[in-house]
């Protein structure tokens, strides 16, 4: 991967809605922050659920990440929209819930350019992009800006089809806008090995994309939903729960890969 200035960028993607993207983005960001990394969570999905998961209120008229893509976004930088969370070393670039997907600039490199801001590079070690499921300019911007793609999926045929659709888009982006993009892994959500369909779908992912790319799963745990309702990552809501244990293990397993990436320019120490 060719080196680009700025922090290491991970896009959390799946073309199927309800695959656990926001749950993954919020909780992985919190775990990496707990490991001492300065993390910026960027919410590209206009549902704005990252703010909900962090217990943040985005006031009407507040600057959002979607301003970068709007017609009035000239001169706005990513640092202009960053808000501190209540969690140490974790910040949020919130979404605009009124943003219309498909509107605004058609430039797929806007976000990549915004992430080269030297001020941003001095503030953050890692950037996590929560993406919309729709195939629009926001998803293309995320894939064009990222060093790594993390793909959560529910072990269900529709979610697996979402993975396959994403891979077709991913390979196109790799061949044009971002040849250095790499797959960080496929993450089974609500994983239950005793359910035959779960085993079957994960086996299909392994066969099609490589068993070494299938990560340890996040087990089914109501505490993950309860944590979102409480506006807290699960490590702070129910630290002894299965969900908290699994996300902590995920962050610890991914960090060596992220820190060893040649895309990172001396930021992860």
Mean of the pLDDT values across residues 223-227? 97
pLDDT of residue 192: 60
Q: Which residues contact 216 (CB under 8 A, 6 or more apart)?
A: 246, 249, 250, 253
Mind listing the pLDDT tens digit for each residue in 131-181?
A: 998 888 999 999 999 999 999 988 777 777 878 888 889 999 999 999 999
Q: Is the pLDDT assigned to residue 266 strictly greater than 80?
A: no
pLDDT of residue 257: 94
Mind listing the pLDDT tens digit for each residue in 17-50?
A: 778 999 999 999 999 999 999 999 999 999 999 9
Q: Is the pLDDT assigned to residue 263 strictly greater than 60?
A: no
Q: Which residues contact 248 (CB under 8 A, 6 or more apart)?
A: 31, 34, 235
Q: Is the pLDDT assigned to residue 1 strictly greater than 50?
A: no
Mind listing the pLDDT tens digit for each residue in 116-125?
A: 999 999 999 9
Identify which of 129, 96, 137 has the alpha carbon closest to the alpha carbon of residue 24.
Answer: 129
For the beta sheet containing 8-12, the strands, ordered from the edge strand earlier in sequence to the opposite edge, are 83-84, 90-93, 39-43, 126-130, 8-12, 148-153, 182-191, 218-219
What is the spatial distance between Cα 200 and Cα 204, in angstroms, rounded to a whole number? 6
Helix (H) or strand (E) holding 11: strand 8-12
Q: What does the block give as tokens for 155?
A: 């072990």
Report the chain's mean pLDDT, rounded to a whole number.
87
Mind listing the pLDDT tens digit for each residue in 91-132?
A: 999 999 988 877 778 899 999 999 999 999 999 999 999 999
Domains of the chain: 8-260 (3.40.50.300)
Q: Is the pLDDT assigned to residue 215 strictly greater than 80?
A: yes
């Amino acid at each position: 991967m060719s080196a680009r200035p700025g922090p290491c960028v991970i896009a959390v993607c799946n073309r199927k809605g309800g695959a656990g993207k926001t749950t993954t983005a919020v909780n992985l960001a919190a775990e990496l922050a707990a490991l001492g990394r300065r993390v910026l969570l960027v919410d590209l999905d206009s549902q704005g659920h990252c703010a909900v998961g962090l217990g943040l209120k985005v006031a009407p008229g507040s600057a959002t990440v979607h301003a970068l893509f709007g017609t009035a976004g000239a001169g706005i930088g990513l640092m202009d929209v960053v808000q501190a969370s209540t969690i140490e070393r974790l910040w949020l670039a919130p979404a605009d819930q009124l943003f219309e997907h498909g509107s605004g600039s058609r430039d797929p490199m806007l976000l990549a350019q915004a992430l080269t801001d030297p001020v941003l590079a001095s503030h953050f070690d890692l950037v996590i992009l929560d993406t919309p499921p729709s195939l629009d300019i926001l998803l293309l911007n995320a894939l064009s800006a990222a060093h790594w793609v993390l793909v959560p999926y529910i072990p269900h045929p529709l979610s697996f089809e979402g993975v396959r659709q994403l891979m077709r888009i991913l390979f196109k982006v790799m061949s044009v806008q971002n040849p250095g993009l790499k797959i960080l892994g496929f993450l089974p959500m609500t994983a239950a090995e005793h359910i035959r369909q779960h085993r079957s779908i994960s086996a299909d992912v392994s066969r099609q994309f490589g068993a070494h790319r299938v990560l340890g799963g996040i087990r089914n745990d109501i505490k993950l939903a309860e944590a979102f309702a409480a506006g807290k990552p699960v490590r702070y809501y129910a630290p002894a729960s299965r969900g908290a244990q699994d996300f902590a293990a995920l962050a610890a397993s991914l960090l060596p890969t992220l820190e060893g990436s040649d895309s990172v320019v001396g930021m992860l120490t």
